[in-house]
A = this chain, B = another copy of it.
Amino acid sequence: MNSSCCRTTHPFDSIIPLPMSQSAARCQRSQASQFFNLAGRPGVISFGGGLPTAEGFPVDAIRAAADWVLEKEAERALQYSASAGEPELREALARWEAQKGVPTKAENIIICSGSQQGLDLIGNLFLEPGAKFLIERPTYMGALEAFELRGPNYVTLPSDEFGLNPDMMGEECRGARLAYVMPTFQNPTGLTISAERRRKLAEKAREYDFWIFEDNPYGELYYDEEPPLSMRAFAPERTITLNTMSKVLSPGLRLGYFLAPKHVIDVMERLKFALDLHTSTFTQLLTARCLEKGLMENHLPEVRQIYKMHAEVMLEALEESMPKHSEIRWTKPRGGMFIWLTLPKSIDAVELLERCLEAPEPVAFFPGIAFYATEKESNTVRLSFVTVTPERIRTGIRTIAECLKSMLKA
Contact = CB atoms under 8 A, between A and B. Distances in A.
A87 interface: no
A62 B70 contact: yes
A252 interface: yes
Interface in A273-314: 273-283
Contacts of A22: 128
Contacts of A146: 274-275
Contact of A125 (B20, B209, B275): B20
A59 B11 CA distance: 41
Interface in A100-152: 103, 113-114, 116-117, 120, 124-128, 131, 142, 145-146, 148-150
A81 interface: yes
A120 to B, nearest CB: 5
A80 B203 CA distance: 38
Central interface residue in A27, A32, A207, by most chain B CB within 10 Å: A27
Contacts of A49: 80
Given A4-B207, A51-B80, A74-B57, A263 B15 contact: yes
B142 A4 contact: no
B237 A24 contact: no
Contacts of A18: 125-126, 211, 263-264, 267
Contacts of A274: 27, 30, 116, 120, 145-146, 148-149
B275 A126 contact: no
Contacts of A79: 51, 54, 57, 250-252
A124 B23 contact: yes
Contacts of A148: 274
Contacts of A246: 80
Nearest to A240: B18
Contacts of A32: 273
A166 B30 CA distance: 39
A86 B76 CA distance: 26
A117 B276 contact: yes
B24 A253 contact: no
Contacts of A203: 4
A23 B76 CA distance: 32
B252 A209 contact: no
Contacts of A126: 18-21, 24
Contacts of A30: 270, 274
A18 B206 CA distance: 13
Contact of A113 (B113, B131, B211, B271): B113
A33 interface: yes
A78 B63 contact: no
A75 B63 contact: no
Nearest to A13: B237
Given A145-B273, A267-B28, A206 B4 contact: yes
Contacts of A253: 78, 280, 282
A342 to B, nearest CB: 27
Given A11-B235, A252-B79, A19 B178 contact: yes
A271 B24 contact: yes
Contacts of A11: 235-237
Contacts of A273: 32-33, 116, 145
A116 B275 contact: yes
